[in-house]
Amino acid sequence: MPKNYLTIALPKGKLLTDSVALLTEAGLDCRSVENDSRKLLFDLPGSEARIIICRPTDIPTYVEQGAADIGFVGKDTVIEQNKDVAELVDLKFGYCRFVVAMPEESLPQKLPDGLYDLSVLNHKRAATKFPRVAQLFFNEHGMQVTPIKLHGNIELAPRVGLAEMIVDIVSTGKTLRENKLAEVAQILEATSRMIANRVSYRVKYERIQGLAEKIRVLVQ
Amino acid sequence: MERSSLGLKIPEGMIDLLPAELAQLEELEGKAISVCKNWSYQKVATPGLEYRACVEPDADKDDHLYKFFDKNGHILALRPEFTTPIARMVATRQKGGQFPLRFCYSGDVYRNDSARYREFRQVGVELIGSNNDIADAEVIALAIEIMKTLAIKNFQLNLGHNGIFSGLAEEMKFETKVREELEDGIARKDMVKLEKIISSNDLPESAKELLLSLPYLTGKEEVLDKLQNWTHIKPIRKAVESLRTIYLYLKEFGVQDYVSLDLGILRGFSYYTGAIFEGYLPGIGVPLIEGGRYDGLYADFGMNHGATGFAVNLGFILEKAADFELDMADVLVYGQSPGAVIKRCRELRKSGKKVEMALGFLADTDARNMASSRGIALLEKIEIT
């Protein structure tokens, strides 16, 4: 494999289209990449690169281990996975917010400053796909909340008494409303990031930094 | 007692080494240590168990230690590295030593994190008691010499400096909060965060420009020329002068071609204070050599010594090394009379041969088969006379 050959890990799903468009604009020939395909590995002809399609939560792992040199992934996943990777560029797309949400009928009182009084949530349970993010937030606020790790359909948990609240990412808020949940606190905002393996970033510095610079300009 | 199913397993991150694997590891280790000895580094050993108070004095910090209690309730830890234990040893047992001290070591270190190997063999050196740039150059040249001796192809060594960010923060009198945020961004190699802090804080334009460009200064001498504009700031001038001198000495050592200057090596504010370096091998996702100057560590142990050193992770080298030919016995000895067989084996071993003894009588065809399946070239049958 040539020294500067790049393996790029992209998330499957809705971020793939944006990522591929960005890489194409940055000069990589991504015509071979198909969304909704069972294929997981695409060679980019003439670009000395290939794209691998991964579950978003796995991308930091691929990159940390050096199986992929760079990856595009949400900041939410970067925080949750807490892997040793370099974060190079804020890609600006894939915007979402981490929030604490509760059933509409059991919202806490509001404080004079207009925020919800979260202290009543002490010793309660929060269903989430992101237990680390949840724990960091509650710790920071001096709260004792037990995260319950789930892998999907988080909104269901408070409806059936598995948890009193959820910690999840929202982009439009539609899913929350449909499940009669309301936001009680915002934890953080996140966008997608270009991340790199720390050794690849040094060994293939010019190639990766060149790509990062192009992308930085494109997403401005 | 018969083993339960757990008793047949080994803990996560641990491995057994079968003869061919171990022989190869020891071959690499032996070669590396003999290079160190050629450079006048003497081998030392420290215990596998240390007090946590030695290897991780900050009780608030998340660590990756395997921890136990001793009978007095003190927390013990398996050593996660050698540099700190050697500093402890020097501070307590070599106070009156003839500095500079040159020590080398090889042994297993233990880290309870999610890495593939939680126990792995390190070979490394410590050069204690010199603040001179030539000391940094010596250990870097030695690291490269070891890689060359181990026939590691395509490796690359990047040389940076850990004193620039911290020096600048001090010089510019950053608020504690900004400084902490910067440190966190550096430790996580989070360029997005660094950029955000730098541009959203009220810092002098020149400091902003420097902080933003530092992580991208990488290459040969021209890197230092680019830093020249900022050398009115004392810690930067010091770092540039140091790096220039070290780089020059590396040319004298004949290893400059392997080295890139790289101020983008971000290592947080650990005990490294000066020149730092990392060795990389394409296809291995983490550095296989980590080293640098750590003057602050000896101060922590109450000694005023500059020190520098490095550790090589042999496990990764083993992974990349070509298949290894295990050294087999030279001769298989068999025969009717155990006494005569033992006698002949003793003679042959005395003469320096590697000898395998058949345990019990073998027919000639069985002996031939055994020898060929084990890669033993010679057969010797002891006839009763």
What is the C-alpha to C-alpha distance for residues B88 and B54, in angstroms, rounded to an integer? 7
Give the integer Cα–Cα distance in Å for A215 and B2. Answer: 61
Is residue A11 in a domain?
yes
A7, A62, A87, A194, best to mutate vs chain B, most B CBs in 10 Å: A87
- What is the chain B residue with the closest CA to A192? B192
Taking an 8 Å cut-off on Cβ atoms, the answer to whether B193 and A87 are in contact is yes
**Facing A87 at nearest CB: one of B156, B189, B216:** B189
Is the Cβ pair A199, B280 closer than 8 Å? yes
Question: How close, in Å, is residue B77 to chain A by CA atoms?
Answer: 23
φ, ψ at B145 (rounded to 5°): -60, -40
Amino acid at B90: V
The predicted model scores a pTM of 0.86
Domain assignment present for residue A79? The answer is yes
Average pLDDT, chain B: 90
* Cβ–Cβ below 8 Å for B262 and A90: no
Instruction: Pick A197's closest partner by Cβ from B216, B266, B285.
Output: B285
Minimal Cβ distance to B158: which of A84, A88, A202:
A202
- Both A114 and A195 in one domain: the answer is no
The 10s digit of each residue's pLDDT in A82-121 is 898 999 999 999 888 999 999 999 888 888 888 898 888 8
From CA A173, how far away is CA A165, in angstroms rounded? 15
Cβ neighbourhood burial of A148 (10 Å; 0-12, 13-18, 19+): middle
A100 and A183 co-located in one domain: yes
**Encoding tokens for residue B113?**
């994190």
Measured between CB atoms, does A209 come within 8 Å of chain B?
yes
Q: Which helix (H) or strand (E) holds B307?
A: strand B307-313
Using CA atoms, how far apart are residues A103 and A184, in angstroms rounded to an integer? Answer: 10
DSSP B41: P
Query: What distance in Å separates the CA atoms of residue A192 and residue A219, rounded to the nearest whole number?
Result: 11
- For residues A156 and A101, membership in a common domain is answered with yes
Cross-strand bridge partners of residue B51: B76
* The pLDDT value given to residue B322: 66
Burial B304-330 (b: 16+ CB within 10 A, else e): ebbbbbbbbbbbbbbebbeeeeeeebe
Residue A81 is inside which H or E element, if any? helix A75-81
Architecture of domain B156-280: 2-Layer Sandwich (3.30)
Are both A56 and A139 inside the same structural domain?
no
Q: pLDDT tens digits, residue range B348-367?
A: 999 999 999 999 889 999 99
For residues A195 and A182, membership in a common domain is answered with: no
Judgement on whether residues A89 and A114 belong to the same structural domain of the protein? no
Measure the CA–CA gap between B279 and B147, rounded to whole angstroms: 9
A160, A164, A170, A175 alpha-carbon torsion, rounded to 10°: 30
CA B244/CA B223 separation, integer angstroms: 10
Extract the residue ranges of chain A whose pLDDT is less than 70: 1
CA dist., res. B183 & res. B169, Å (int): 10
- Pairwise CB contact (< 8 Å): B284 & A66: yes
* A88 contacts on B by Cβ (under 8 Å): 191-192
Please choose, from the candidates B182, B219, B214, B180, the residue with its C-alpha nearest in 3D space to the C-alpha of residue B198. Answer: B182
Q: Determine the residue among A59, A61, A199, A208 to mutate to test chain B binding: the one whose Cβ has the most chain B Cβ atoms within 10 Å.
A: A199
C-alpha B133/C-alpha B131 separation (Å) is 7
Rounded to the nearest angstrom, the minimum Cα separation between B378 and chain A is: 43
pLDDT at B268: 65
Q: Do A198 and B188 touch (CB under 8 A)?
A: no
Q: State phi, psi for A3 to the nearest 5 degrees.
A: -60, -35
| Per-residue three-class SS string for B59-120 | CCCCCCCCEEECCCCCEEEECCCCHHHHHHHHHHHCCCCCCCEEEEEEEEEECCCCCCCCEE
State how far the Cα of A183 lies from the Cα of A171, in Å rounded to an integer: 12
Across the interface, whether the CB atoms of B156 and A89 are under 8 A apart is answered: no
Cβ of residue A43 closer than 8 Å to a chain B Cβ: no
Cβ neighbours of A200 in B, within 8 Å: 285
Count of domains observed in chain A = 2
Query: Is the Cβ–Cβ distance between B25 and B121 less than 8 Å?
Result: yes
For residues A73 and A51, state if they share a domain: yes
* Contacts B216 to A, Cβ<8 Å: 209
CATH of the domain at A131: 3.40.190.10
Strand order in the sheet with B355-357: B355-357, B331-335, B378-382
Residues B128-153 pLDDT 10s: 999 999 999 999 999 999 999 998 88
CA angle B129, B130, B132 (to 5 degrees): 175
Residue A131 sits in the same domain as residue A144: yes
Closest CA to A131 of A178, A82, A175, A97: A82
Question: Measured between alpha carbons, how far is B280 from B154 in angstroms, rounded to an integer?
Answer: 9
Same domain, A196 and A88: yes
Per cent of chain A over pLDDT 70 is 100
Q: Examine residue A11 and say whether the peptide bond preceding it is cis (omega within 30 degrees of 0).
A: no
- Write down the H helix ranges in chain B: 19-38, 52-55, 83-93, 133-149, 163-171, 176-187, 191-200, 205-213, 222-227, 234-252, 295-300, 314-320, 338-350, 364-373
Answer whether B1-152+289-327 and B156-280 agree in fold: yes
SS (H, E, C) A11-45: ECCHHHHHHHHHHHHCCCCCCCCCCCCCCCEEEEC
Q: Please give the CATH number for the structural domain made up of B1-152+289-327.
A: 3.30.930.10
| A128 shares a domain with A75 | no
Kindly identify which residue of chain B lies nearest to residue A66, measuring between CA atoms. Answer: B285
Mutate to test the interface with A, among B111, B154, B189 (most CBs of A within 10 A): B189
Query: What local confidence, expressed as pLDDT, does residue B324 receive?
Result: 65
Is A167 inside a domain boundary?
yes
Q: Answer whether A7's CB lies under 8 Å from A197's CB.
A: no
User: The domain containing residue A172 runs over which residues?
Assistant: 96-189
Q: Give domain status of residue A1, yes or no.
A: no
Give the tens place of pLDDT for each residue, B279-332.
Answer: 998 888 889 999 999 988 999 999 999 999 999 999 888 877 766 667 789 999
Measured distance CA(B171)–CA(B236) in Å, rounded:
10
Give every residue of chain B whose pLDDT is below 70, as ranges.
268-270, 322-325, 385
| Cβ within 8 Å, pair A89-B191 | yes
- Each domain of chain B, given as residue ranges in start order, spans 1-152+289-327, 156-280, 331-382
Same domain, A89 and A195: yes
Nearest to A64 among B190, B266, B285 (CB): B285
Q: What pLDDT shows up at residue B158?
A: 94
Q: What pLDDT sits at residue A66?
A: 92
Rg, Å, chain B Cα set: 26
Q: Are B61 and B34 in contact (CB under 8 A)?
A: no
Residue B214 has a pLDDT of 83
Chain-centroid distance of CA B270 in Å reads 16
Please indicate, yes or no, whether residues A100 and A184 belong to a single structural domain of this protein. Answer: yes
DSSP lists the bridge partners of residue B237 as none
* A171 CA: distance to closest CA in chain B (Å): 21
- A214 is a domain residue: yes
Q: Which DSSP string corresponds to A127-186?
A: EES-HHHHHHHHHHTT---EEEE-SS-TTHHHHTTS-SEEEEEESSSHHHHHTTEEEEEE
